A = this chain, B = another copy of it.
Amino acid sequence: MRIGELAERAGTTTRALRYYESRGLLPARRAVNGYRTYDEDDLRLLQQIRTLQDFGFELEETRPFVDCLRAGHPAGDSCPASLDVYRRKLAELDALIGQLDAVRTQVGAQLARAELEAGAALPGGPEPRCELTQGALTHDGLTD
- How far is B110's CA from A111's CA once the two chains are assembled, in angstroms? 38
Instruction: Mark interface residues in A72-98 (1 if CB within 8 Å of B CB, else 0).
Output: 000101101011001101110110110
Chain B residues in 8 Å Cβ range of A55: 103, 106-107, 142
- The total of chain A residues at the interface (CB under 8 A) is 42
Contact residues of A: prevailing secondary structure: helix
Tell me the number of copies of this protein.
2
Contact status B94-A51, CB under 8 Å: no
Stretch at the interface among A16-24, A25-33, A35-43, A132-140: A132-140
* Nearest 6 interchain pairs by C-beta: A77-B114, A56-B144, A86-B111, A93-B104, A51-B137, A97-B100
